Amino acid sequence: MLSHVKETLNASSKGRSKLPSRGALTALVTVLALPACGGDDSTIAGAQAGMDGPVYAMMSTVYADTGDRSVYFAVTSSLDVEELSLDQAREFGGVANYSAVGGRLLISSGEAPTITAFDIDDAMEWHERDTLGFGAYPLSDNANFFSQHLVDEHHMYLPYDGYKRIIWDPTDFEIDGVMDDTNLELDRDGLILEPAGNRSGIRYDGHVMMPFFYHDEEWYEFAASSPIAVYDPETHEEEQVIDAPCSGLAIASRDEVGNTYFSPYDYGPLLPLYGLGPMPCVARLTPERELDVDFTTDMTQWTEGRIVNNFRYIRDGWGLANVFHQERLDVDFDAPMTAEIQDQVWEEANWSVWRIDLEHGEARPFDAVEVPTFGWNLMEIDGRSFLTIPSEGGTVIYEMDADGNLSEHLTVTGDASWIRVR
CA dihedral sign of residues 37, 109, 412, 315 = negative
Give CA–CA dist 229/242, Å, rounded. Answer: 6
Q: What digits encode the pLDDT tens for the residues 221-266? A: 999 999 999 999 999 999 999 999 999 999 999 999 999 999 999 9
Question: Per-residue pLDDT for 172 more than 90?
Answer: yes
Number of separate helices (H) and strands (E) present in the chain: 3, 30
> From edge to edge, which strands make up the β-sheet containing 56-63?
90-93, 69-76, 56-63, 415-420
Which helix (H) or strand (E) element contains residue 42? helix 41-49
Q: What digits encode the pLDDT tens for the residues 94-142? A: 788 999 999 999 999 877 899 999 999 999 999 999 999 999 999 988 8
Give CA–CA dist 28/23, Å, rounded. Answer: 13
Give CA–CA dist 112/134, Å, rounded. Answer: 8
Task: Please classify residue 97 by burial: count the beta carbons closer than 10 Å to its beta carbon, then call 0-12 exposed, 13-18 middle and 19+ buried.
Answer: buried
Q: Which residues of 266-287 are buried (b: 16+ CB within 10 A; e: fewer)?
A: bbbbbbbbeeebbbbbbbbbee
Residue among 45, 35, 42 nearest 1 (CA) = 35
Confidence category of residue 2, pLDDT binned at 50, 70, 90: very low
Which helix (H) or strand (E) element contains residue 320? strand 318-324
Residue 5 or 44, more confident: 44
Give CA–CA dist 58/69, Å, rounded. Answer: 16
Round the average pLDDT of the chain to a whole number and report it. 86
Phi-psi domain of 305 (left: phi exceeds 0; alpha: psi -120 through 50; beta: other): left
Range with lowest mean pLDDT among 26-30, 38-42, 269-273, 345-349: 26-30
Give CA–CA dist 347/351, Å, rounded. Answer: 8
DSSP state of 310: E
Q: Are 59 and 417 in contact (CB under 8 A)?
A: yes
Give CA–CA dist 79/390, Å, rounded. Answer: 19
Cβ atoms within 10 Å of 234's Cβ, excluding its own: 15
Residue 137 or 29, more confident: 137
pLDDT at 31: 31
- Which residues on neighbouring strands pair with residue 352, listed in sequence order? 323
- The amino acid sitting at 277 is G
Q: Are 144 and 95 in contact (CB under 8 A)?
A: yes
Give CA–CA dist 133/70, Å, rounded. Answer: 21
Give CA–CA dist 379/253, Å, rounded. Answer: 12
Q: Are 143 and 113 in contact (CB under 8 A)?
A: yes
Task: Give the global pTM.
Answer: 0.86
pLDDT at 49: 58
Q: What digits encode the pLDDT tens for the residues 379-405? A: 999 999 999 998 887 899 999 999 999
Q: Give ∠ CA 139-74-106 in degrees, rounded to 5.
A: 35
CA dihedral sign of residues 101, 103, 109, 114 = negative
